[in-house]
Homo-oligomer: A and B are copies of this chain.
Amino acid sequence: MIRIKSILKENGYKLTSQRRATLEVILHNEDKHMSTEEIFIEVKKTNPDIGLATIYRTVLLLEELGILVRLNFEDGRNRYELSHPEEDHDHHHLICLKCGQVSEVEEDLLESLEETIDRNHNFKIINHKVKFFGHCNRCR
């Protein structure tokens, strides 16, 4: 949170109570990949007067600052998770086609593919988004 506050400050933004509350909900729900509306519902429990537009503006800002990562699980809404600055590329997600559960893959293992792409396509990779669809341990 201290790190995040200084990122905001460095960029000329304030850590308002709404932004702090939004961040705390996301920090306390790691691995949940919350949608904007889910974040809104949670934040409302401590800040009942907050508006949905504020949550939209906050997650957009936090994404631009690299604090959040926007996820797309093909369900028609944006979802967010904390960015992990120690990982230089986003991690992958496993999405169960039966129950919808989403889990994370810590292994990257894309080095050789990315080298091949750099070599064969002359394309400089900065980041990637990788989703695997299939059946989770409970549904397979």
A94, B123: Cβ atoms closer than 8 Å: yes
Pair A129/B133 contact, Cβ less than 8 Å: yes
Each complex incorporates copies of this chain amounting to 2
Known: A107-B120, A120-B107. A132 touches B140 (CB 8 A): no
Size category of the binding interface on chain A: 20 to 34
Residue of B nearest to A127 (CB): B133
A133: chain B residues at CB < 8 Å are: 125-129
A interface, CB within 8 angstroms of B: 72, 74, 94, 96-97, 103, 105, 107, 109-110, 112-114, 116-117, 120-137, 140
Q: List 20 A-B contacts (CB under 8 A).
A: A72-B72, A94-B117, A94-B121, A94-B123, A97-B126, A107-B113, A109-B113, A117-B132, A122-B140, A123-B132, A123-B135, A123-B136, A123-B137, A124-B135, A125-B133, A126-B134, A127-B133, A128-B131, A128-B132, A130-B131
